[in-house]
Structure 1
Amino acid sequence: MKLKYTYLAAVIAASCNAMANVDYVLREGDPLTSQQWHLQNTGQTAFSDRGGKAGEDMNLDLTHALGILGVGVTAAVIDGGVQLDHPDLVNNVKPGSWDFLTDSADLKPRDGNDTHGTAVAGIIAASAYNGIGGRGVAPQAGLVGFNLLRKWTEANWLQSHGLYSDGFNRSSFDFPRVFNQSYGGARTSPQRYNYEVTPWLKRNDDAQEEITRYSHGGKGAIFVKSAGNSYQSQSITLKTYGRGRIYFDNANQGLPVQNSNLERMDATYWNLVASAYNADGVKSSYSEVGSNIFVSAPGGQYGTTSPAIITTDLTGCDRGRNPAYGRNDLHGGHELDPNCDYNARMNGTSSAAPNVAGAIALVMSANPALNWRDIRHILASTARKIDAEHPGVSLSFTHKEGDEFSYDAIPAWQTNAAGYDFHTFYGFGAVNVDAAVNMARFYSATLPPLEITDWHSTVANAIIPDGALTGVDSHFEQTEELTVETVQIQLNADHTSTRDVAVELISPSGTRSVLMTPRTGTIFGRSGFTETQMLSHNFYGESAKGVWTLRLIDTQGQDEKFTFNPSASGEPNVRFTHRNNQEDGTLNSWKIRFIGHK
Structure 2
Amino acid sequence: MIVTTDLHHSCTNAHTGTSASAPLAAGIVALTLEANPKLTWRDMQHIVVRTARPLNLRAGDWVTNGIGKKVSHSFGFGLMDAGAMVRLASNWTTVPEQRKCVVFYPARYKLLQLYTDGCSSYSRNKVGYLEHVQAIITLTAPKRGDIQIYLTSPSGTRSTLLAKRARDTSRTGFREWAFMTTHNWGEIAVGLWTLEINNDGWDDAELIRWDLVLYGTATEVSNIGGTPSASSSSLTPRSLSSKVRTRYGALWEDTSAAFRKTAAKFGRNLPQAVIFGCGSYEKFKKK
Shorter chain as denominator, the TM-score bin is 0.5 to 0.7
Q: Match for residue 509 of structure 1?
A: 155
Equivalent residue for 1:592, pick from 212, 227, 250 = 212
* Superposed counterparts of 1:142-291, under 5 Å: 278-279=1-2
Residues 143, 170 of structure 2: 8 Å contact kept: no
Task: Compute the RMSD of aligned alpha carbons.
Answer: 2.7
Give 1:533 deviation, angstroms: 1.7
Of 495, 500, 514, which residue of structure 1 is paired with 2:141?
Answer: 495
Displacement of 1:346 after TM fit? 7.1
* Separation in structure 2 between the aligned mates of residue 363 and residue 421 of structure 1, nearest angstrom: 23
Task: Deviation per CA, 1:38-77: give whole Å up to 9, x if none.
Answer: xxxxxxxxxxxxxxxxxxxxxxxxxxxxxxxxxxxxxxxx
1:522 aligns with 2:167: yes
Tell me the residue number matched to 1:354.
23
Confirm whether residue 438 of structure 1 aligns to residue 73 of structure 2: no
Query: Deviations along 1:134-161, whole A, 9 cap, x unmatched?
Result: xxxxxxxxxxxxxxxxxxxxxxxxxxxx
* Counterpart among 561, 569, 582 of residue 202 in structure 2: 582
Aligned sequence identity (%): 31
Q: CA deviation at 1:529?
A: 2.2
1:366 aligns with 2:38: no
After superposition, the Cα gap between the structure-2 partners of 1:438 and 1:500, relative to the gap in structure 1 and judged at 3 Å, is: same
Could you tell me the TM-score, scaled by structure 2's length?
A: 0.65
Cα drift, residue 537 of structure 1: 0.3
Tell me which residue corresponds to 1:476: 114
Relative contact order: is structure 1 or structure 2 higher (C-alpha 8 Å, sep ≥ 6)?
Answer: 2
Asked whether 1:531 is paired with 2:200, we answer no
The one-letter code sitting in structure 2 at the alignment partner of 1:419 is G
Alpha-carbon distance, 1:534 to partner: 0.9
- Structure 1 residues 417 and 523, CA, compared in 2 at 3 Å: closer, same or farther? closer
Matched residue SS, 1:453: strand
- Aligned partner of 1:368: which letter? P
The answer to whether the 8 Å contact 1:503/1:517 transfers is yes
Contact 1:461 1:588 in 2 (8 A): no
**Conservation of the 8 A alpha-carbon contact between 1:457 and 1:591:** yes
Q: CA deviation at 1:388?
A: 4.3
Q: 2:56, 2:141 → 1: CA distance?
A: 35
With normalisation by structure 1, the TM-score equals 0.33
Separation (CA, whole Å) in 2 of partners of 1:345 and 1:505: 35
Structure number with greater Rg is 1
Q: Distance in 2 between matches of 1:586 and 1:421?
A: 34
How far does residue 524 in structure 1 lie from its aligned partner after superposition? 3.5
- Equivalent-residue separation in structure 1 for 2:7 and 2:173 (angstroms): 48
> Could you give the per-residue CA deviations for residues 508-544 of structure 1, whole angstroms, max 9, x where no partner exists?
11111111112x2514333422222210001000111
Would the alpha carbon gap of residues 522 and 597 (structure 1) be closer, same or farther in structure 2, given more than 3 Å must change? same
Q: Find the aligned partners of 1:543 and 1:347 in 2 and give their Cα distance.
A: 35
1:452 maps onto 2:100 in alignment: yes
Deviations 1:435-473 (A, max 9, x none): 1112112334x32211123463442675xxxxxxxxxx5
What is the count of residue pairs matched by the alignment?
210
Q: Residue 347 of structure 1: CA displacement?
A: 5.4
C-alpha change, 1:523 and 1:546, in structure 2 (3 Å) is closer
Secondary structure class of the residue paired with 1:459: coil
CA deviation after TM superposition for structure 1 residue 378, in Å: 0.7
Amino acid at match of 1:453: C
Contact 1:460 1:589 in 2 (8 A): no
- List alignment gaps of at least 5 residues for structure 2: 121-126, 219-287
Aligned partners of 2:154 and 2:190 also within 8 Å:
yes
Q: Match for 1:591: what amino acid?
A: D
Please tell me whether residue 381 in structure 1 is matched to residue 1 in structure 2: no
Structure 2 SS opposite 1:437: helix
How far, CA to CA, are the matches of 1:477 and 1:451 in structure 2? 18
Which of residues 407, 416, 423 in structure 1 aligns to 2:72?
423
Query: What is the rounded CA distance, in whole Å, between the counterparts of 1:525 and 1:390 in structure 2?
Result: 30
Q: CA deviation at 1:585?
A: 1.9
Q: 1:458 to 1:538 in 2, by over 3 A?
A: farther
Q: Where in structure 2 are the equivalents of 1:92-103 lying within 5 Å?
A: none
Pairwise CA distance, 1:423: 0.4
Letter in 2 for 1:549: T
Give the drift of 1:389: 4.5
